Structure 1
Amino acid sequence: MGVHVKLSRISSVVAAAAIAPAVLFASPAVAADAATAPANSAPDTAPDAKPDTHGNAKADDDNRVAILRIIHKSKPGSSVYEAAQAAMNGSPEDRVRYLKEGYELAQFADDRLRTVQISSTAGKGLRRAALEALRKGTHEALRQFLEVGQYAARDEDNCVEISRILHTAKRGSVLYESIQKALDGSPEDRTRFLEVGQYEARETDDRILVTRISGSGGRHLKEAARKALLGDKAEDIRHFLDVGQYEARKLDDAEAAKAKGGKDRENAKEGQESKDVRATSGEKQKQGGTKDVKDVKDVKDVKDVKDVKDIKGATESNGTTGTNPAVATSGTSSSGAQLAATGAGSATPWAVGGTAVTLTAGAGLIVASRRRTSQS
């Protein structure tokens, strides 16, 4: 009989040990799984099941497990997190109170704070929606904004911002095409464009522009563009477009001006040498021409006095065979005038006069000789 009683007690203990885990992780644990951190975009929900209020040790252990799960999913510093920590450090009644109503109140405070933070940094549409939820002042209004309203309002603001960028984009550029795709896409596409896509498109357009600039520049500009294109950072491209290209152009302009100055000096030197050659040639021609003119004048003077018939006529008209004053005077005057024009010295008229006298005397002798011949 005693053995039978002992076996019955052992069977009861074994059965209790078997069902203990199922009882330990019952409905309070499931309720704790529904709670989430207030900082997350997904809403937090209050526990579905009521906490065990019997006050025994087993029920308090179940409440502890539920609160620990809430702490694990909450953001440190949030109202839900701090209230849960206080409940864990309090009495079994504090833990029952937290699971019954404290969690909901803490979650409302976190949702309200999150909505205020969004409104302070949001665009026009998102701020308007957040302020409307805060104005209503109910937890349901805040939950609706955090779960649905904020995303619709944010996409509205994104569309406005992308349209603003579109007005500054050049038609046909990579940025322009990316904007068109974002506007035609989903809200996620627009968010990605503003966070990443626009910067990738701008860098591609900048690289294309640098390539075009390098094709029309000098040695320094080409080298600066090459270094910018080889860089891995978008800042290298922007620095070239904002600063580098102008510094390189200055160096190219300085080299071009230096080369032009050297060429101008060389041309000036060649022009001076050509001018000197022309001046020397002109001086020689002038000297040769003066000599020729002088020779011609001398020949003309001699020709004037070599005409024997004129000399004879002049002699007979004056009634003498000596020096003809008229001829001499005329010859002297003419020679003087001619020689003055050529710049001859004062001895030249005397030489011409002597020549005229000699020719006149010779002419007289010839006439006298002919008269004697005719008389004989």
Structure 2
Amino acid sequence: MDKRIKYNNNKNSTLSNKLNSSINPIKLTSPLLIKDLENTTVVNFTYNGSVINQTTPDANKTVAVNYTFKDVGVKTVNINYPILMGNNITLTVDVLKDNVSMEIMNINETKSAGKLNVEVFIKDSKNNTVNDGFIIFKINGKTIKEQYNSSKTLKVAVVDGCAKLSYNLYNFDNKTVLGCGVYNLEVKYISENYNTQSANKTLNLVKTKLGDNQLGPIRVKVNENAKIKMTLTDEFGNFLKGENTVIIRINGRTQIRQEIKNGKLDVILDTANFSAKKYTINMAISSNNRYEDVYRIPTTLTIIKRNAILNIDNTTTHTNGKTTNTCNSERYRWNSS
């Protein structure tokens, strides 16, 4: 005979799809099992060719079996006992996915280009820790990808009931970093043996500070333009992402106001008409919704005098009415004043 019984763990069934779970016995109470059973009759339960349980009926002539399946799907359990003269009863069981619950620990205030640290705890319907499946994360609906493979979704394994994420938000977008503000963090649990479960948590991002960017002293000669070339970094040592406004002042007067991309600054200062002396340069990076501002990055600009060069190639002299040509290759240098 063939009897199909469906069950899952939240119905207190014995045959569970989970390892290391506490199992409540399922009582096989079909009349076929009760009929002619004696208290001394040994009942065998066989699965995949192996006896998984041997038991005798209780006072109500029912038997119970404890067994844990390792995965979901349709399972066939053979039941036999001597009174049936060798005939077997086949019990077909659908091992169903169990439900899980998730707890997302509080997330500390996070820098827009800093590390996002999240801990998620997973338990099954009987409050047992889960050691199966993985979690993916989304920020405002956009899936977090692997750090070195932006085409591959980042999957964090659940180990001993916990999934731990430590992710550098600087890598979340190739073009820019997230701005400060409130975001929705979606946590999604996926497993072959448990039902998919999602939960949400508020993610509060604050601006990232700029790093210790410094300019060295600049020296150029008169009639030359000065040049500044550098790449700006944030407090974590990463190159800036996106657009930022840079303002450069010489002796308090604005010389440059320019949008730069990805922290790359390459500007020419119009100093060709400057006098030979020392000047003060201050560079400021304006704030935006991603980075805090830097009021000034100071340095000095020194304009130095050029060396004058006199070439005397030929001289002509007159002596007693005679003309003499003398070839010279002398060079003379002196500082112009």
Query: In which range does the TM-score fall when normalised by the shorter chain?
Result: under 0.3
TM-score, normalised on structure 1? 0.22
TM-score after normalising by structure 2 = 0.24
Higher normalized contact order (CA 8 Å, seq sep 6+, divided by chain length): 2
* Higher helix proportion (structure 1 or 2): 1
Which of the two has greater strand per residue? 2
